[in-house]
Amino acid sequence: MPILGVVAAQNYPRTFNVEYLVVAGGAGGSARLAGGGGAGGLKTSTQSITKGVALAVTVGAGGAAGASTSSQPGPGGNGNPSSITGTGWTTVSCTGGGRGGTYQNEDGQNGGSGGGGAGNTNMPKGLGIAGQGNDGGDGSVNSAGGGGGGAGAVGQGGSVRAYQYGGNGGDGLASSITGTSTYYAGGGGGCGGPNSDVPIAGAGGLGGGGNGGGPGVQNGTVNLGGGGGGSRDDNTTAGAGGSGVVILKYLTADGTITIGAGLTGSTATSGSYKVTTITAGTGNVSWA
């Protein structure tokens, strides 16, 4: 005859812990005496989930690169949000990075991390969101753009020394959720001022931030949520923002994950854990 206490325990829905890293898409840098793009917002922690319950996952795309003409600056695009939602799961949502500012046109935009200010002190930097990222750096009155903010540090301001130095992008944060320490969500570098060259444009922050230009401007790194670098001249294109990522870590013994339609991802083993990395799309995941 079955023991009632044992039957009840067997039928009770089982829960287990899932560690997560959520990174939104980084912003594009802007073009023409411009600031670097802010990194996508970043959150990481652990929650419990009931086996068989689906989680809805979205991975944000990076923002578009700004493109200037001979007469008009070109603002970049803000990054797109990433999120995890589900029944019994406290929603985790990260805001895309804010685009960099452009000279006499656009302020740096607010975001998960803020965009760098344009090379003009009248054009403000963008602000980051506490718990996700940091502010961008100020632009210089002498036309050097500020760096975009990163998850771990503010963007540096443009400065004047022997030449006009673009601000470096703020560094991101390191995570070992995959088993290897990796930086995510670095800000894009600001452009150098007139008569400057590649070495004095701002460097991208650790975690996929793209270098600013003159020539040599870079995109933010895909699936790190880095901001794109800002470009200096007319008729140039800045760096695009890097797409975000969602990473889930759980004990192998807790079941097998299914990655649903609409998502691109893969699962690897790290010791006694499985690590599922979702690199694009919107859809559901669940464990059996």
| Predicted TM-score (pTM) of this structure | 0.93
Looking only at the bridges linking them, the beta strands covering 245-251 and 273-287 are: antiparallel
Of 108, 104, 90, 92, nearest in space to 244 by CA: 92
Question: Can you read off the two tokens belonging to residue 247?
Answer: 């990473």
Instruction: Identify the residue with better confidence: 131 or 159.
Output: 131
What is the average per-residue pLDDT within 78-89?
A: 97
2 burial via Cβ count (<10 Å: 0-12, 13-18, 19+): exposed
Residue 104's pLDDT is: 72
How many domains, in total, are found in the chain?
A: 1
Cα 71 to Cα 67: distance, rounded to the nearest angstrom: 11
Task: Scan for tokens 């894009």, then name that residue.
Answer: 188
Question: Can you read off the two tokens belonging to residue 74?
Answer: 């070109």
What is the average per-residue pLDDT within 73-77?
A: 94
Residue 2 lies in a domain: no
Residue 44 lies in a domain: yes
Residue 200's pLDDT is: 84
Checking if the pLDDT of 273 tops 50, the result is: yes
What is the average per-residue pLDDT within 203-226?
A: 94
Checking if the pLDDT of 8 tops 50, the result is: no
Residue 9's pLDDT is: 45
Residue 122's pLDDT is: 67
Which residues in the chain belong to E strands, given as ranges?
A: 15-23, 42-50, 55-59, 82-86, 89-94, 159-160, 164-165, 173-175, 182-184, 245-251, 257-259, 263-270, 273-287
Checking if the pLDDT of 202 tops 50, the result is: yes
Checking if the pLDDT of 6 tops 50, the result is: no
Residue 267 lies in a domain: no
Instruction: Identify the residue with better confidence: 191 or 106.
Output: 191
Neighbouring C-alpha atoms within 13 Å toward the C-beta of 80: 17
What is the average per-residue pLDDT within 203-228?
A: 95
Quickly state the pLDDT bin for 121 (edges 50, 70, 90).
Answer: low
Tell me the β-bridge partners of 21: 44, 247
| Residues 62/39, Cβ–Cβ less than 8 Å | no
Question: CA 286 → CA 12, 47, 55, 150, distances in Å?
Answer: 18, 14, 6, 31
Quickly state the pLDDT bin for 162 (edges 50, 70, 90).
Answer: low
Residue range of the domain that includes 85: 24-56+68-252
Residue 28 lies in a domain: yes
Question: Can you read off the two tokens belonging to residue 263?
Answer: 């998502």
Quickly state the pLDDT bin for 240 (edges 50, 70, 90).
Answer: very high
Residue 15 lies in a domain: no
- Share above pLDDT 90 across residues of the chain, in percent, rounded to a whole number: 78
What is the average per-residue pLDDT within 205-221?
A: 93
SS3 of residue 8 by DSSP: helix
Rg (CA), the chain: 21
Quickly state the pLDDT bin for 86 (edges 50, 70, 90).
Answer: very high
Mean pLDDT computed over every residue of the chain: 91
- Comparing 26-35, 179-188, 197-206, which segment has the lowest mean pLDDT? 197-206
Residue 41's pLDDT is: 98
